[in-house]
Structure 1
Amino acid sequence: MNEVRFMVNGQPVEVTVSARLSLADLLRDRLGLTGTHLGCEHGVCGACSVLVDGRSVRACLMLAVQAEGRMITTVEGLHRDGRWRDLQQAMAERHALQCGFCTPGFLVCAAELLGQPGPLDETGVREALSGNVCRCTGYASIVQAVLDTARGRSSTPP
């Protein structure tokens, strides 16, 4: 067993875990953060994506012990301060996500993308989100929602 200390959504966490426990299982089963969805459990679908120190990571592929000293943000943490409400609103307005299973992974990956400097274009958004699988939509509305959010942010004075 291993003692692990890290931050999740701005809150300190200290837990004892087995060396083989995945970060996704820790978040869902032990910490109750069920927004981190488990789909393929092979890192292919993107439903389990979380931010680790600001970068998107497949939580099903990361061991919980690897979180030591890290800052983890789950989909629940994205709306904690209201910062990502515009992205969520754009997704709703574009009817970008239907069944909702892939939603957390798309939101987390889009949040990482929108947090990077520089303008976004459709090709860049498609490439950044290409690791997420959605079986309900044709992706066009998801891409447009991210672009809408980026445009809305660039037209808002600092």
Structure 2
Amino acid sequence: MRRRDRIRLSGAALRAFLHLAKAWRLIPARQRAALGGVAPATWRCWVALARRRRTLALPERALLRLSLLLGVARALITLRGSARNCAGWLRRRNRPAAGRLSVPLAVLARGSLDDLARFRRDMESMAAGWVSSRCSDAPSIRALRYNDIIHVDDQRGSELGYRCDHGSA
């Protein structure tokens, strides 16, 4: 990505993330972790420049993480109605039938770019109402609801799971 494109996108993307982080009640350490473990002094500099609307050119990896996180936020807002309403789900420890329990916010903060991309894709699929391929008899399944999202974090990495209720809708 060209430097002038990074300058054009960086300030707005970081300001949007800061508003999102406030709604999700993320402490600065979690905010830095979500962007790939940015050093505290670097983070403070980025935030100050973004808030003052000064020239800022974030690294490509940080911009990619911001894009993925903002996409997750958009999907969650579609499902929950507001960024503030998403905070509870992001912090909730899910109880799936199998796999190690995990808190989605922790996975977002420590995940690789591949984990974040997978998480965003799955959240956008849920927001669009697409039925998971994990359910063998998808045509007989009721429409998905927000509480059907279950996050499983196993030894191989993180992924979203979907509760498949086979009763009446």
Per the normalisation by structure 2, the TM-score is: 0.36
Structure that is richer in helix per residue: 2
Larger Rg: 2
Structure having greater relative contact order (Cα 8 Å, sep ≥ 6): 1
Structure (1/2) with the larger strand percentage: 1
